[in-house]
Structure 1
Amino acid sequence: MPLTRSLVPPALIVITALHGIMLAALLFDIDPHPPRAIALFAMAPFLAVVIGIALAALRQVSHEAAGARGLSLAAALLTLLSFGPQKFLDPALPEIWPAVLSGQACTLAIVATLIASRRLTAQTMG
């Protein structure tokens, strides 16, 4: 099945929306928002990178172009930094759980689709 007809495009759209809204919440200081910085990096540039990679992946997937799988996987894995299982320990979980579950569901959808697609390709090739 081509990625254009899978769960990957809608998952990338949700990932873009989640990170965009979190970036806006951070910039406009609307609670709940992510911290301005963590030990590894400042949050706004990270969110911008995830948005950019997800949009690039969406473009490549929609055109069935090179790099679609890699960019989609990168967007999914970066989403886990923002919305991964560690968020279940976050004191803000009662406020952010819809975003956490959505981010994890999108990551699962992308990874599962990429694995299934790879297996299907391997079976048809031989």
Structure 2
Amino acid sequence: MNEDKHPVAALAMLIVLQVIMLAALFAKVPPHPPTVIPISGIGPLVGVSIGVALAAMLVGPNEGWVGKVLSGVAVLLALISYGPQKYIDPQFPLIWPAVVAAQIAAITILWSLFRSKSARA
């Protein structure tokens, strides 16, 4: 696989995980996320997360500053739901596959952003 496709694949992973999380929320299938978190309602936040990740894919994760900013924001938004804080979540034994997959995807995206920056230098 071409290395340029790695961040696109990672963004696709984040989108799939967040769509499944949103579906679990709407269907109230355990384990589903809480409807409200300290910074917002989870539905709107996940919606924005999906939208930003999709926009990053369409622009190109490493295409100019817009693609890089969108990719970085997509990672930050995804880590609200799948970040390291989830290791102490009581539901972690039920959600660990999604948490680990999302973190691998986030690292892949961040690594590609770092590599694209260092490749220019």
User: Which residue is equivalent to 1:85?
Assistant: 84
User: Which residue is equivalent to 2:73?
Assistant: 74
User: Are residues 1:100 and 2:107 paired?
Assistant: no
3-state SS of paired residue (1:7) = helix
Residue 69 of structure 1 deviates from its aligned partner by 1.0
Residue 6 of structure 1 deviates from its aligned partner by 3.7
Identity within the alignment, %: 39
Unmatched tracts of structure 2, length 5 or more: none
Matches of 1:40 and 1:58 in 2, distance apart? 26
Question: Residues 17-43 of structure 1, C-alpha deviation per residue, up to 9 Å, x if partnerless?
Answer: 011100010011111110000122100
Matches of 2:13 and 2:91 in 1, distance apart? 21
Unmatched tracts of structure 1, length 5 or more: none
- What is the number of residues matched between the two proteins? 120
TM-score relative to the length of structure 1:
0.89
User: Are residues 1:119 and 2:92 paired?
Assistant: no
Residue 110 of structure 1 deviates from its aligned partner by 0.5
Cα contact 1:60–1:66 (8 A) shared by 2? no
Cα contact 1:15–1:54 (8 A) shared by 2? yes
Matches of 2:25 and 2:74 in 1, distance apart? 20
After superposition, the CA RMSD in angstroms is 1.9
3-state SS of paired residue (2:36) = coil
Question: Which of the two has higher C-alpha Rg?
Answer: 1
Matches of 1:112 and 1:35 in 2, distance apart? 30
Residue 71 of structure 1 deviates from its aligned partner by 0.5
Question: Residues 29-67 of structure 1, C-alpha deviation per residue, up to 9 Å, x if partnerless?
Answer: 1111100001221000000000000000000018x4661
**Following superposition of structure 1 onto structure 2, how do residues 1-126 of structure 1 map, counting pairs within 5 Å?**
5-61=4-60, 64=63, 67-122=66-121
Matches of 1:112 and 1:46 in 2, distance apart? 24
